[in-house]
Amino acid sequence: MNINATLIGQAIWFALFVFFCMKFVWPPISRALDERKQKIAEGLSAADRAERDLELAQEKASANLKDAKDKASEIIEQANRRANQIVEEAKDQARAEGERLIAKAQSEIDQEINRAREELRKEVSALALSGAEKVLAREVNRDSHKQLLDELAAQL
């Protein structure tokens, strides 16, 4: 194989082409590759950060949910206690009202018994007086015998 001028010309043109590529073509390609590499690295780090943030947000959400459930159960428990307290208060009030009504009824019964006794005493004294008038066949003066009639009514 002979080395001729064409091969030497091609070698020179190839060297010039390599120099031209190294000087003008390779730097923009290299910059584009570096920028792309940097963007990919930023994207990966952003994805890692987002994943960590997601885990933190899920933990925070589960903690908030647990707190909300605890508060809800505490509120329900307080409501049940208050409901039981209200029921007990209502029972106590009803019991007191019932006792008051029973006492009032008993008082009314006692008053009616006393009125009936008084009326009965008056009727018995009137009957006794009427019977005494008939037995004695004379009129008894009510004013003069009032003390005697009162004693007789008290004994009955």
Domain layout of the chain by residue ranges: 36-155
Mean pLDDT of 102-124: 89
This prediction has a pTM of 0.45
Band of pLDDT at residue 17, cut at 50, 70 and 90:
very high
**pLDDT digits over 87-100, tens only?**
999 999 999 999 99
Q: Determine the Cα–Cα distance for residues 142 and 25; give it in Å rounded to an integer.
A: 151
Q: What separation, in Å, do the N-terminal and C-terminal C-alpha atoms of the chain show? A: 168
- Residues 134, 142 contacting (CB under 8 angstroms): no
Phi then psi dihedrals of residue 69, to 5 deg? -65, -40
